[in-house]
Structure 1
Amino acid sequence: MPDLLIELFSEEIPARMQARAADDLRRLMTEALVEAGLSYAGAAGFATPRRLALSVQGLSAASPTLREERKGPRVDAPEAAIEGFLRGAGVTRDQLEARDDKKGTFYVATITRAGRPAADIVAEALEQVIRNFPWPKSMRWGTGTLRWVRPLHSILCILTDEAGEAKVVPVEIDGIRAGNTTRGHRFMAPDEFSVTSFDDYEARLKVARVILRAEERAEIIRQEAGNLAFAAGLDLVEDAGLLEEVAGLVEWPVVLMGEIGAAFLGLPAEVLQTSMREHQKFFSLRNAATGRIERFVTVANIETPDHGATILAGNQKVLAARLSDAKFFWENDLRRVREKGLEGMAEGLRDVTFHNKLGSQADRVARIAALAREIAPMVGAKPDLAAEAARVCKADLQSAMVGEFPELQGLMGRYYAQAAGHDDGVPEACEEHYKPLGPGDAVPSAPVSVAVALADKIDTLCGFWAIDEKPTGSKDPYALRRAALGVIRLVLGNGVRFDLFDPLSNQLERNEKSAHNVKEADSARAIDKLKKDIGGATVGTVSVRAQSIRIINGRRVHGRAPDLLAFLHDRLKVHLRDEGIRHDVIDACLAMEGNDDLTLLVHRARALSDFLKTDDGENLLQGFKRANNILTQAEEKDGVEYSYGADVKFAETDEERALFAALDTAEPQIAAALTSEDFAAAMSAMAALRAPIDAFFDAVQVNVESAVIRRNRLNLLSRIRSICLQAADLARLEG
């Protein structure tokens, strides 16, 4: 069985596209080969800046000959139907066979498709893959029609048999004919050389100063950078994303260490690291004792006689220019903070639109500050500090540094807040209020940070809910699902206890007022323009009515709050699914009072989930469902509700009396445990009901002839139902 080697050699492929392209080449080619009838033992894709490569091991030498029987029309069918079947099957009348079955005699055609050599199939598949390759961006060059990410120079495509003999697959695309040759490093080994197999290809590339595997290039960079850092008494700042990118920029990594000018060492470490990473693709070396970034590592793509001295000199010159800009931004921002304070810096947010229906960033900051003050006592923060932090948390958006490096927003806010004299958790809240940004991001725990982070995310949700900009299907342009998950993680991660209806309602009302003010302002501008157009005539004003406030269960609730709470509950289901908690368990707990207290809700769901994993829990559930089904059927039949009046004096069996006693014991225990929110204890008390309920159903018939006994037993089942439903709505559970 031969091995296949393909290389597509071009100008430099952008680093961000390489891994995906290598995987696409592997996937598309193997799918095409399998569809054509070939099998293979293994396949792997590779990428360097100038090439995509594919190795397929153990490929079939040819596709198998296939025989297919196709059933046609009845033998007495109209001639036109038979002729149509012949054309479709590609056979003649004398090749048909008449066969009998239960419905009559039918024509059957046996169609034979001869196998094809692997080389023919590979050639056909490769042309289709190249011409339809899914590059994010592609270009056309010269006079040909082929589009590729960069000009394609050559194609290597060979099949190597078990004897080691390599044959070129005959492929030609836009005048580029496949061969068995490739090239090494652009400068250090530019000459062509031929290869006979994948192992030969990889080994000869390495001799020609090209390391084929991206992970090997990355490991070389990581190890050599770490060694240089260790020798200088510094630590390499890990940056997996940068490492992957740089490994895609070089074919032969040469790691060099350079100096940062002394004038720039006073810049915040994050500024130095970000500037060097974004502008120069440099790795940072940190002094563990001081936390300062003191040197950098760059990766060249060539070995030089002066061991990189000229490269380093050029890099350091460019770096100095970049860091001069960063130093100017830093010093200018600090001057503004000293002169105006952080709230003074934030004044410019009035001219920055957050959303054209929700007003400016300053309007949003005011809403966040009001909500942060309300939330603060619930998370253990001082209201004045939470409001102070909220008022300045977005100020750094007006800084020159964040204008240059948007990814530093929040972090620079912490530095500027410290410079402005804020303390008691305010600077940390400026940085942490964006968190958590994703599933792997840490959750803030400092009370002021938690208050502002919750207010920020709740305002985002309420704002877009107020203007009916909700996520639909897979579309979520304002990242509202991420904001909802952030609220959930902040609440659960800090054990926060409060009813969400209140802050949701209040913030929805604030956002509606903002939307109302924006509409009123737009209307006023439109009226002014209209007055000018019609010569100053009197024009009436337009008023926008806000969403109504409703009273739900005695509480003042904004009309949109239940829908927004349901959205949070849906995200909570996704979050808890990763813990192994079933959706029906969550639904059973959502049906209970207090479902807007997420911490309480999750404690109940976890206790119920753990309980149902035990034999007692599963059996009690079945007993509850049996009792509920019998009771529901009887109530529907009789047209009455059996919800009271069960009396032990009407019990006729020991099993009935034992169940009465068990319910009398369990009911106050369960009620007390639920009052103290000890759901595990409540479930434990419920577990004690399992045996007497099982014994009751084994020994007692509910629907007996005696109306008094039947009614008493149905009322006893009602006690089972009502006691079990105190913990959760077990009727919603599956199984």
Structure 2
Amino acid sequence: MKDLLIELFSEEIPARMQTRAADDLRRLFTDGLVEAGLTYASAAAFSTPRRLALTVEGLLAQSPATREERKGPRADAPEKAVEGFLRGAGLTREQVETRDTPKGPVLYAVIEKPGRPAAEIIAEVLERTIRTFPWPKSMRWGSSSLRWVRPLHRILCILSDEGGAEVVPLSIDGIETGDRTEGHRFMAPEPFSVASFDDYAAKLKKARVVLDAKERADVIWHDATNLAFASGLEVVEDAGLLAEVAGLVEWPVVLMGEIGVDFLDLPPEVLQTSMREHQKFFSVRNAKTGRIERFVTVANRETADNGATILAGNQRVLSARLADAKFFWENDLRVARDDMSTWLQALDSVTFHNRLGSQGDLIRRVSALAREIAPLVDADPDETETAARLAKADLASEMVYEFPELQGVMGQYYIKAAGGSEAVAAAAPGHYAPLGPSDAVPVDPVSVAVALAEKIDKLTGFWAIDEKPTGSKDPFALRRAALGVIRIVLENDLRLDLRQSFRSHMNAHPPGEGDDLDGKTDNLLGFLHDRLKVYLRDQGVRHDVIDACIALPGSDDLALLVKRAKALQEVIGTEDGENLIQGFKRANNILTQAEEKDGVEYSFGPDVKFAEGAAERALFAALDAAEPRIADALKADDFAGAVSAMATLRGPVDAFFEEAQVNSDNQTIRRNRLNLLHRIRTICTSVADLTRIEG
């Protein structure tokens, strides 16, 4: 067995491309090996700003020889058929056999392929991998036809075993493979040879290169948190920034610097965003006050002055950036304290969608809808309308123009500065939530009303103009809006008539093709139900159980729908529940077949006086007892109670089918029993449409 080491050494690879590139290198190369018949034990890929590396362990010394027998046409088949067979097998007529079979003489090709040395296969697969590598963006340089993300300088490719290492010979556009690489660009630029992956990783570390991106990230976080802790501070967690910075350095050197006192009173979100976006700095805050007081930067080299010069330069650049942020902040505060309607007027000139009007139109629609929703969520209508009117005002502010990701966050500050209440201010960031599956939903009634209004307006607007998601395309994030509605309703346990809200608010939008508001409303509600299935599936609720509950009236009340589904799933997961479903389906099937055959509906009430036997009379009694219990429970929204009452029918239904023959020769008895089955179906389907339960 042999081990393989490959390194593709280039100019700096953008940090955002490194992880994907390492995965692509491993996938493309190992897939190519397997297709060529060369198996291996394990493979791992690594990336730094200047290199992609791949180690493959346990390679065969050569691919195994193969022998394949391929049956062809009859020996006397038309010439074109024979030629096609020979061409596919890569053989001549003299190289194939003719064998006698019960159907006459048939041509057989025996294709033997000898094994190939590992080095030959590796060179072939590596060249194909390099030339077809799927970089998001690539370039050519000089007179070379090769495309790579940045100019490629070296290709290291060696096979090693106990006896030593050998270079796999390959030349790509003048770049010859070898066993040499380079260390850190500044601290150890001299080339050196390696003999194995372990030797490679150890020598790189001596040459001030940490090969593993996770190890670099761990070093950065460990050193940063230690520096902050020593000053009584803490580093603000930012996983995305940590991954990006780990892709910018090969030898991370963590330094902590000061923020000018003139900028310490800026909102922490402004400081954090400015430093992250412009400088790739981590924010360091005082845990007691929440104020950002320092920053952490990561250099790519050690210096004689322990980073003092680097820090001084960074602090100068940072001061210039923060001076801009402070200017925006102070200007925006003056506008907010004077009259925020200035921003609202400006938003009348900002297009939301060419068929749905301006941002100002959007704000007016959302304000009206939020006022309607307010009483349903125990929010003050006047306060809610004010919150909805101001929630997007910061879109016209200078700070949000510079940092769009601060929309809502800055609005909260500006509304407070203008004298707005805490509830009104909280709606500015809160009405966008949740942006992702892990985001918290708003819980304050005013924020809940505005968040629901904003999302319902978006959904009904795009449904009104027939701009719905198709396949994987969802340019207006309507699936996210629907999931937001679902989570806000369920996590706040809200009782809302969404069908009515959708239909009435769809009138607030320009009409699309046709004017079938009921049809569009039903379609939108179906879209919401589909999102609900995905959401509940992740919580372990079966899709057929949800379908069984959606089929009943009132399915637009999501809170009740989910309670019904969870109660139903809990019962049908038991032996009694499973057997009840089977008994119900048996009753439903017999009844359906009889109604189709007879051309009548057996919905006339069954009479116990025609019952024969104890089991049949017991079923009548069980239905008489369960029906009012189920009805009362449903009226009280006690779905667990309703499902529990339905489950009591399991025994009597089973006993009835064991004792009685529904299709009796006595037509009076038969009609009465079919009416009895109709009663079973009616009572059970009042809880859920059990015909939709699978199994």
Normalised by the size of structure 1, how large is the TM-score? 0.93
For residue 394 of structure 1, what is the aligned residue in structure 2? Answer: 392
For residue 192 of structure 2, what is the aligned residue in structure 1? Answer: 193
Hey, what's the Cα distance between the residues in 2 that align with 1:167 and 1:646?
Answer: 90
Residue correspondences, number: 695
Secondary structure of 1:121 counterpart: helix
Hey, what's the Cα distance between the residues in 2 that align with 1:504 and 1:239?
Answer: 38
For residue 569 of structure 1, what is the aligned residue in structure 2? Answer: 529
For residue 547 of structure 1, what is the aligned residue in structure 2? Answer: 515
Q: How far did residue 8 of structure 1 move?
A: 0.5
Hey, what's the Cα distance between the residues in 2 that align with 1:133 and 1:143?
Answer: 19
Hey, what's the Cα distance between the residues in 2 that align with 1:227 and 1:188?
Answer: 25
Does 1:174 find its partner at 2:181? no
Query: Among residues 657, 660, 672, which one is paired with 1:700 in the alignment?
Result: 660
Alpha carbons of 1:673 and 1:706: their partners in 2 closer, same or farther (altered >3 Å)? same
For residue 316 of structure 2, what is the aligned residue in structure 1? Answer: 317
Hey, what's the Cα distance between the residues in 2 that align with 1:631 and 1:559?
Answer: 33
Does 1:723 find its partner at 2:683? yes
User: After the TM superposition, which residues 151-230 of structure 1 pair with which residues of structure 2 at under 5 Å, given as runs?
Assistant: 151-163=151-163, 165-230=164-229
Hey, what's the Cα distance between the residues in 2 that align with 1:225 and 1:137?
Answer: 33
Q: How far did residue 485 of structure 1 move?
A: 0.6
Secondary structure of 1:351 counterpart: coil
Q: Is the 8 A contact 1:512 1:546 kept in 2?
A: no
Secondary structure of 2:507 counterpart: helix
Secondary structure of 2:331 counterpart: helix
For residue 461 of structure 1, what is the aligned residue in structure 2? Answer: 459
Hey, what's the Cα distance between the residues in 1 that align with 2:225 and 2:80?
Answer: 79
Query: Among residues 675, 680, 693, which one is paired with 2:635 in the alignment?
Result: 675
For residue 251 of structure 2, what is the aligned residue in structure 1? Answer: 252
Q: Residue type matched to 2:210 in 1? A: I
Q: Residue type matched to 2:420 in 1? A: H
Hey, what's the Cα distance between the residues in 1 that align with 2:678 and 2:44?
Answer: 65
Normalised by the size of structure 2, how large is the TM-score? 0.98
User: After the TM superposition, which residues 35-54 of structure 1 pair with which residues of structure 2 at under 5 Å, given as runs?
Assistant: 35-54=35-54
Q: Is the 8 A contact 1:343 1:391 kept in 2?
A: no
Hey, what's the Cα distance between the residues in 2 that align with 1:364 and 1:103?
Answer: 77
Between stretches 395-404 and 82-91, larger displacement belongs to 82-91
Hey, what's the Cα distance between the residues in 2 that align with 1:547 and 1:709?
Answer: 52
Hey, what's the Cα distance between the residues in 1 that align with 2:682 and 2:80?
Answer: 73
Query: Among residues 546, 571, 578, which one is paired with 1:611 in the alignment?
Result: 571
Q: How far did residue 482 of structure 1 move?
A: 0.7
Q: Is the 8 A contact 2:245 2:280 kept in 1?
A: yes
Hey, what's the Cα distance between the residues in 2 that align with 1:576 and 1:512?
Answer: 33
Between stretches 312-321 and 562-571, larger displacement belongs to 562-571
Deviations 1:513-568 (A, max 9, x none): 7x8xxxxxxxxxxxxxxxxxxxxxxxxxxxxx98355xxxxxxxx55211111111
Q: How far did residue 84 of structure 1 move?
A: 4.3
Deviations 1:619-646 (A, max 9, x none): 0011011011111111111111111231
Query: Among residues 437, 443, 446, which one is paired with 1:445 in the alignment?
Result: 443
Hey, what's the Cα distance between the residues in 2 that align with 1:452 and 1:581?
Answer: 29
Hey, what's the Cα distance between the residues in 1 that align with 2:80 and 2:253?
Answer: 74
Q: How far did residue 88 of structure 1 move?
A: 3.2
For residue 122 of structure 2, what is the aligned residue in structure 1? Answer: 122
For residue 62 of structure 1, what is the aligned residue in structure 2? Answer: 62
For residue 335 of structure 2, what is the aligned residue in structure 1? Answer: 336
Q: How far did residue 109 of structure 1 move?
A: 1.5
Hey, what's the Cα distance between the residues in 1 that align with 2:84 and 2:416?
Answer: 84
Q: Is the 8 A contact 1:160 1:197 kept in 2?
A: yes
Deviations 1:309-340 (A, max 9, x none): 00000000000000000000000000111111
Q: Residue type matched to 1:328 in 2? A: F
User: After the TM superposition, which residues 648-687 of structure 1 pair with which residues of structure 2 at under 5 Å, given as runs?
Assistant: 648-687=608-647
Query: Among residues 489, 509, 512, which one is paired with 1:511 in the alignment?
Result: 509
Q: How far did residue 92 of structure 1 move?
A: 4.0
Q: Is the 8 A contact 1:9 1:50 kept in 2?
A: yes
For residue 498 of structure 2, what is the aligned residue in structure 1? Answer: 500
For residue 632 of structure 1, what is the aligned residue in structure 2? Answer: 592
Deviations 1:123-182 (A, max 9, x none): 01111111111000001100010011001011100000233x111011111100000000
Q: How far did residue 79 of structure 1 move?
A: 4.7
Q: How far did residue 344 of structure 1 move?
A: 3.1
Q: How far did residue 72 of structure 1 move?
A: 1.4
Hey, what's the Cα distance between the residues in 1 that align with 2:375 and 2:693?
Answer: 36
Q: Residue type matched to 1:155 in 2? A: I
Q: Is the 8 A contact 1:286 1:295 kept in 2?
A: yes
Q: Is the 8 A contact 1:202 1:212 kept in 2?
A: yes
Q: How far did residue 573 of structure 1 move?
A: 1.1
Q: Is the 8 A contact 1:434 1:453 kept in 2?
A: yes
Secondary structure of 1:6 counterpart: strand
Secondary structure of 1:249 counterpart: coil
For residue 548 of structure 2, what is the aligned residue in structure 1? Answer: 588
Q: Residue type matched to 1:562 in 2? A: D
User: After the TM superposition, which residues 337-416 of structure 1 pair with which residues of structure 2 at under 5 Å, given as runs?
Assistant: 337-340=336-339, 342-416=340-414
Alpha carbons of 1:720 and 1:279: their partners in 2 closer, same or farther (altered >3 Å)? same
Deviations 1:475-524 (A, max 9, x none): 111111111111111111100101101211122111127x8xxxxxxxxx
Q: Residue type matched to 2:515 in 1? A: Q
Secondary structure of 2:99 counterpart: strand
Q: Is the 8 A contact 1:159 1:166 kept in 2?
A: yes
Hey, what's the Cα distance between the residues in 2 that align with 1:597 and 1:220?
Answer: 51
Q: Is the 8 A contact 1:385 1:424 kept in 2?
A: no
Alpha carbons of 1:594 and 1:84: their partners in 2 closer, same or farther (altered >3 Å)? closer
Secondary structure of 1:495 counterpart: coil
Unaligned runs of 5+ in 2: none
RMSD of aligned residue pairs (Cα, Å): 1.3
Q: Residue type matched to 1:54 in 2? A: L
Q: Is the 8 A contact 2:408 2:428 kept in 1?
A: yes
Q: How far did residue 78 of structure 1 move?
A: 3.8
Secondary structure of 1:44 counterpart: strand
Secondary structure of 2:137 counterpart: coil
Q: How far did residue 582 of structure 1 move?
A: 1.8
Q: How far did residue 605 of structure 1 move?
A: 1.0
Q: Is the 8 A contact 2:179 2:193 kept in 1?
A: yes
Unaligned runs of 5+ in 1: 516-544, 550-557
Q: How far did residue 76 of structure 1 move?
A: 2.9
Hey, what's the Cα distance between the residues in 2 that align with 1:78 and 1:464?
Answer: 62
